[in-house]
Homo-oligomer: A and B are copies of this chain.
């Protein structure tokens, strides 16, 4: 018989929040989770209205995530996992509360507001027996996973150089000054942490580079800019990266690139070939073996590997998108939770981003902010 769904809670993601709804759809797609509790807002009335709208029992609608963690952990039918989808500054206390309660955590990036919190969370996670998954959505795309596999299996040879660009335009104008809620917290250091654009999307770009290339950063030099008057956090970041082993990379993240919607593009080159992938056309992966014609590999298509093929819900030519990539993170999380429940082993698939990615992301932000502050000097990632 089919396994019962995993009981899921959510912190943040009340009415008007974009990412909460995305998490809920993603959790439903493969039918492995059931949302049964939530602290969807810290304002009790909003929390209640949002919870009822989602069909939650009133008794399991909270406005305080500490209370939620405690009460849910005491229920026989308490939540087994929680999705944390608040602004960044609440990630740490919320994750701490649930990890301490032995509840698995699925958390948005950047993992915390500071590197110190990230390191504290890492320690905490080692003390408690609960999984921690960081929703770097783009790692859920089958062709991203295939790219990672192709690099690892040597199809590009020794990596030499890479470029990752993540450009958007939604902060081209001072949206935060006219009451836009998303813009408001993302440009506010108190809620976002020390990084603006670099935290919001730069970390995605950085993690994607690490995820596909398998390379570790030795040092970086980051030019942090604020193009919109009155903004205190960066809205454009250009970074030179030196990787251990000698490879070189650049990363550009911008939220003021007029005409760019959610353009996350990566190119990698080794001594045997190259790869290129674009988030806005995620079902395709260009492979350019040196000396041979360029190949357009497609999700589920003739050039798809067994690994990427197994990720697909629908055949080649039937595009999968962002929600399916997100759903794959939930599906993999469900597998890890069930594995834990059967064996007691706390282990994520290597394909699933976890707490180390979170610490690495915070280290990246921290170094970039320090580099930028000092005029774009080289800073070691230690």
Taking beta carbons and an 8 Å cutoff, which residues of A are in contact with B?
Answer: 1-2, 18, 21-22, 24-25, 28-31, 52-55, 156, 160-161, 163, 165, 168-169, 172-173, 221, 223, 225, 227, 236, 238, 240, 242, 248, 250, 252, 254, 256-263, 267, 269-274, 279-283, 286-298, 300-303, 313-324, 375-376, 378
Cα distance, A172 to B158, chains bound together (Å):
12
CB-defined A-B contacts under 8 Å, sample of 9: A18-B314, A21-B313, A25-B29, A163-B165, A169-B269, A223-B248, A258-B274, A294-B295, A320-B322
How far in angstroms is the closest Cβ of chain B from A83? 15
Residues of chain B contacted by A280 (CB below 8 angstroms): 283, 317, 319
Cα distance, A257 to B286, chains bound together (Å):
13
Q: Are A378 and B376 in contact (CB under 8 A)?
A: yes
Cα distance, A43 to B297, chains bound together (Å):
39
Q: Are A259 and B240 in contact (CB under 8 A)?
A: no
Interface-central residue, A53, A260, A272, A319, by most chain B CB under 10 Å: A319
Interface-central residue, A225, A262, A272, A302, by most chain B CB under 10 Å: A302
Q: Are A55 and B259 in contact (CB under 8 A)?
A: no
Q: A240-B221, A261-B298 are in contact. Are A293 and B303 (CB under 8 A)?
A: yes
Q: Are B160 and A256 in contact (CB under 8 A)?
A: yes
Q: Are A315 and B252 in contact (CB under 8 A)?
A: no
Q: Which residue of B lies closest to A223 (CB)?
A: B240
Residues of chain B contacted by A53 (CB below 8 angstroms): 1-2
Residues of chain B contacted by A282 (CB below 8 angstroms): 319
Cα distance, A56 to B110, chains bound together (Å):
40
Residues of chain B contacted by A269 (CB below 8 angstroms): 169, 254, 256-259
How far in angstroms is the closest Cβ of chain B from A352? 20
Residues of chain B contacted by A254 (CB below 8 angstroms): 161, 269
Cα distance, A250 to B272, chains bound together (Å):
26
7 tightest Cβ-Cβ pairs between the two chains A and B: A259-B288, A262-B317, A261-B317, A293-B303, A321-B321, A2-B55, A319-B321
Residues of chain B contacted by A223 (CB below 8 angstroms): 240, 242, 248
With A257-B274, A375-B378 known, 4 other A-B pairs at CB within 8 A are A258-B290, A287-B293, A293-B295, A320-B322
Q: Are A257 and B161 in contact (CB under 8 A)?
A: yes
How far in angstroms is the closest Cβ of chain B from A293? 3
Residues of chain B contacted by A298 (CB below 8 angstroms): 261, 293-294
Cα distance, A315 to B169, chains bound together (Å):
12
Q: Which residue of B lies closest to A158 (CB)?
A: B227
Q: Are B240 and A376 in contact (CB under 8 A)?
A: yes
Q: A2-B55, A238-B248, A375-B378 are in contact. Are A161 and B256 (CB under 8 A)?
A: yes
| CB-contact partner of A315 in B165, B262, B287, B290, under 8 A | B262
Q: Are A261 and B301 in contact (CB under 8 A)?
A: yes
Q: Are B238 and A258 in contact (CB under 8 A)?
A: no
Q: A281-B281, A313-B323 are in contact. Are A1 and B258 (CB under 8 A)?
A: no
| CB-contact partner of A290 in B21, B25, B30, B169, under 8 A | B169
How far in angstroms is the closest Cβ of chain B from A231? 12
Q: A28-B29, A271-B172 are in contact. Are A52 and B290 (CB under 8 A)?
A: no
Interface-central residue, A31, A321, A324, by most chain B CB under 10 Å: A321
Cα distance, A301 to B294, chains bound together (Å):
10
Q: Which residue of B lies closest to A295 (CB)?
A: B293
Q: Are B302 and A291 in contact (CB under 8 A)?
A: yes
Q: Are A293 and B297 in contact (CB under 8 A)?
A: yes
Q: Are A315 and B18 in contact (CB under 8 A)?
A: yes
Q: Are A2 and B54 in contact (CB under 8 A)?
A: yes
